[in-house]
Amino acid sequence: MRIGKDYIGVGVGAIVLNDEGKVFLAQRGPQAVNERGCWEFPGGRVEFGEKLGDAIQREFLEKYGMEIEVSELFSVSDHLLPDEEQHWVSPTFLARHVGGEPTIREPKKCTAIGWFSFSEVPAPLSVISQDDLHAYLEKYGLEEDM
């Protein structure tokens, strides 16, 4: 049985800002679970028995060597990918980068990373990241502070 395909998966993400008000994005690589080539507010799967906030902190440390401080739960979405026959529930957090120089630690799952202003977010964005970006800009505008 495959998570997200044979049963609903839970994958957390985060809109992470640095001290300059730029947002961290990652481009999904050739062995990503879905939406390969898309940019995203990164995250990953929640492990059994793991709290959502702990999961997103673990994912950023494992995948990018980054420490983040979670400030709040921003959204929860159904991430439906009919073409890939997948269904995920995707909580997204707001967070700040507090340590570690970002590096790609899983090059087959991630091909590029970077800090971007909200007015210069690259395309294409993953489905959830598009929704979260729209909601973030509706709530906060282009002011790049939480």
5-57 confidence digits (pLDDT tens)? 777 899 999 999 999 999 999 999 999 878 899 999 999 999 999 999 999 99
Which 3 state secondary structure label does DSSP give 119? helix
Instruction: Spell out the residues 6+ positions from residue 2 whose beta carbon is closer than 8 angstroms to its own.
Output: none
Decide: 110 and 137 in contact? Cβ < 8 Å: no
Q: Does pTM surpass 0.75?
A: yes
pLDDT band of 86, cuts 50, 70, 90: confident
CATH class for the region spanning 9-140: alpha beta
Q: How far apart are CA 9 and CA 89, in angstroms?
A: 6
What tens digit of pLDDT does each residue of 31-43 get?
Answer: 987 889 999 999 9
